[in-house]
Structure 1
């Protein structure tokens, strides 16, 4: 099993109520219904006020690296990932569980 975590930090001048941020977050809705390799799917806005905190998080689970790769190249994921890259920086961690 592969756990895939992504943390998003909105770029300077982009707030979480910005229409671009709201659209990017909405783009994740239902992705688990479109990509069968997704075994678990959680996303959400951060609630921590700490300075080191990121703004948005994604937590997902795949059976194996092939499933993760299928997700990474799926057109629905590619489209929403591009939305996020335009408004945020991100960090990714993939680890075996």
Structure 2
């Protein structure tokens, strides 16, 4: 089992309430129905007031590294990454 974690920081001028952040969240929520390799999927906005905290979190699981790579290469994932790249900075990692 592979756990994939992505942490996002909004670029200057972006907030959780902004149209772009809300659209990104909606797109993330659709991915489990579009990519069958996803076993579990959690995503959401940070609700604390700590400026040092990350703004958005995605935690997903996959049966194998091959499934994770299939997810990475899926066109639906590519579209969401393009959206995220416009409004976020990110840090990520995979845990086995």
TM category, shorter: over 0.9
Give runs of aligned pairs for residues 7-86 of structure 1, distance below 5 A.
Answer: 7-86=7-86
Q: Which runs of 5+ in 2 are unaligned?
A: none
Q: Deviations over 1:11-32 (max 9, x none)?
A: 0111111111111111112211
Rounded Cα–Cα distance in structure 1 between residues aligned with 2:7 and 2:48: 13
| CA deviation after TM superposition for structure 1 residue 51, in Å | 2.1
Instruction: Give the 3-state SS of the residue equivalent to 2:32 in structure 1.
Output: helix
Q: Deviations over 1:19-67 (max 9, x none)?
A: 1111111111221111111000000001122222111100000011100
Q: 1:88 aligns to what?
A: 88
User: After TM superposition, which residue ranges in structure 1, 4 or more long, deviate above 4 angstroms?
Assistant: none
How far apart are the structure 1 equivalents of 2:29 and 2:57? Answer: 13
Unpaired segments ≥5 residues, structure 1: none
Distance apart, 1:85 and its partner CA: 0.5
